[in-house]
Amino acid sequence: MTTICAVKHNGKTAIAGDGQVTMGEKFVTKDSAKKVRRIYGNKVAIGFAGGVADAFTLQEWFEQKLEKYSGDLQHAAVALAQDWRKDPTLQKLEAMLIAVNATDILLISGNGEVITPDTLSESGDQVIAVGSGGNFAQAAATALLSAGKADLTVEKIVETSVDIAGGIDVYTNHNVIVESF
């Protein structure tokens, strides 16, 4: 379980995730896992919630799709979602993936969904989050954006949002990794 949050604000995108790995419901086995990483020549960042082995499998498949579609994030995401629904191996994977680049944020799920977050304002702000603390992080990011905190960067918004979720959700910690474009 984990928390991943992505935000688009003032023409920039960022994604953040915590580092906690929990075995079952009782044991924190690691607090510094890197669940947010750059792929495709550092042009795309992904964050995943769910089983680590499943997430790495999805990352590999997604990178193949990005290569096949020359880095077209939306096309690669739809192709991954289609395969995820059809391929018997992928169907068993239990993870969710948020992918961002310099212009887009997408949530990719195992039900074949590719979701672009709603736009919150005329400025084009967007927020989406997944994982056990996802609702908390999404609420925090939305509140920060709604409060008109012009002094906050997109990086600070995602970091603060995951940190707030870490104060509420027992499966999320305060070791936050941020990637931005």
φ/ψ of residue 123, rounded to 5: -75, -10
* Catalytic annotation, pick one of 2, 3, 22, 160: 2
* 2 is annotated as an active-site residue: yes
d(CA 94, CA 22): 15
Nearest residue to 89 (alpha-carbon basis) of 131, 53, 63: 53
H runs (alpha helix) in the chain: 52-68, 73-86, 88-91, 134-146, 154-166
- Matching residue, tokens 């939306």: 74
Angle between helices 52-68 and 73-86 (to 10 degrees): 130
Q: Which residues are catalytic?
A: 2
